[in-house]
Structure 1
């Protein structure tokens, strides 16, 4: 048997089996996150002249935000597909006719969540070692809740549908990171910064306010299936979205306040220019 055949057998018969898939996916997430961090650092060092002038902690945060942006794009696309376009949680095949949608999973859905667990492990570790430079207690609480809830869905296969609904909120992360990048390189007064603020407002409104409202409505309509979950899953379905929704509303208020301030400043500047 050739080395290639042995490697294929190792992957199909062990690493991608149901029992090993959670661990394989988490390891893949850790490796992919490290690669994303290194790629961001390499591209920034060679193609962005101002990168070397940043402080050490700014460079770390720059690379960290590049990594989080890549993860956010990946998990948002997969979450939207699995929630709205896949038939995993809506249609029942011959072997799963009696299986509640709250208990349904697939190798793809489990692997995708495992990759996200790997990312949150890396990001939470970086926040811990650089605390509080990469984020305060709000970020720590957000990551701990997310990590525990996603990991539970990976290993138990429970509540993956609602986990993915919450993860769609990662769609706002690229805008948040771009805002930090523009601020760091001195473009806080640019049109790009203002446009980014407006886009963030609408993205946050849709992905972190309205979508969470729909999530709670969906939970109320399918409560009979949710009570069939394990007590831990039951608590997570109600507890994690509630805490995150509260944090989202607080952050949304800050975004709205900042956007109003930017628009007022821009209007004042235009008036000053017209007078001159």
Structure 2
């Protein structure tokens, strides 16, 4: 990994730590009165999700810029100039490391094995981008998924603030979350894998070597299995909200709010 990328990863890690411990509590208490009355156990995940939303907006917008305007990457998806993609991936890698540390420190309240698998698979794949500069188009394409993260986090914010599920804002966000999540994580699978298959057997693909090839394909498959699981959870929750169906696992008015198995609020 070059010095620049390593510096971006480290800066990203430190920056997200500062957002979590300093900016988020102050900003949340000013903007949302309900933040101050939440139990302390909720503050940690609230701050985590606000940081997640900020990360998603930064990386998601940069991802779209690269897809639309970076001709070198789009012309050669396997070996195109990875300079700007490396910046985006380095920011995300710093965020993923920060989030893994946060999960480890707060495992009893925030721990989720899906999260850990997701983060490790992503870091494994992105390490090839940062160290060898390979697969810039495909690495950046995976980050389209970040565009669904703000809606996922907003769902949790509404639940933490005890908005009723029938509230129009909750319903609107739930529908938007399901639609956007499907578009950026599920609907993109066919064209993505069509592009992947199109590289098989080409000189550019052979130059990658077995290690990069396995890391690329295996990590993508693992991440998309997780995305499919999360899509199922979202679709089921959206259906219940739209139809007013009660949760089959509910044991009290707060049971759903206290559950920790929310859809992943992070990145591919």
- TM tier, smaller: 0.7 to 0.9
Shift in Å at residue 51 of structure 1?
A: 1.5
State the Cα distance separating 1:188 from its structure 2 match: 3.3
1:229 to 208, 216, 235: 208
Describe the SS at the equivalent of 1:89. helix
Q: Which runs of 4+ in 1 moved over 6 A?
A: none
Question: 1:33-83 deviations in whole A, cap 9, x for unaligned?
Answer: 123322121111233222222222210110100101011111111112212
Q: Which residue of 2 aligns with 1:212?
A: 189
| Residue correspondence of structure 1 range 25-104 to structure 2 within 5 A | 25-37=8-20, 38-91=22-75, 101-104=77-80
The structure-2 alpha-carbon separation of the partners of 1:127 and 1:104, relative to structure 1 and needing over 3 Å to count, comes to same
Change (3 A) 1:89 1:107: closer
User: Is the Cα contact below 8 Å between 1:79 and 1:168 reproduced in 2?
Assistant: yes
C-alpha separation in 2, matches of 1:40 and 1:105:
35
TM-score, with length taken from structure 1: 0.82
CA contact (8 A) 1:113 1:150 kept: yes
Contact 1:21 1:107 in 2 (8 A): no
Asked if 1:147 corresponds to 2:123, the answer is: yes
Partners of 1:130 and 1:176 in 2: CA distance = 20
Match of 2:235 in 1: 256
Q: Which has the higher contact order (CA 8 A, sep 6+)?
A: 2
Q: How many equivalent residue pairs?
A: 241
TM-score (ref. length: structure 2): 0.84
Q: For residue 244 of structure 1, what is the aligned residue in structure 2? A: 223
Q: Deviations over 1:169-220 (max 9, x none)?
A: 1111100000000010011321111111110111111100011221111101
State the match for 1:23 in structure 2.
Answer: 6
Structure 2, unaligned stretches of length 5 or more? 246-268
More divergent stretch after superposition (76-85 vs 211-220): 76-85
Q: State the 1:132 CA deviation.
A: 4.2
Q: Name the counterpart of 1:187.
A: 163
Deviates more, 1:60-69 or 1:123-132: 123-132
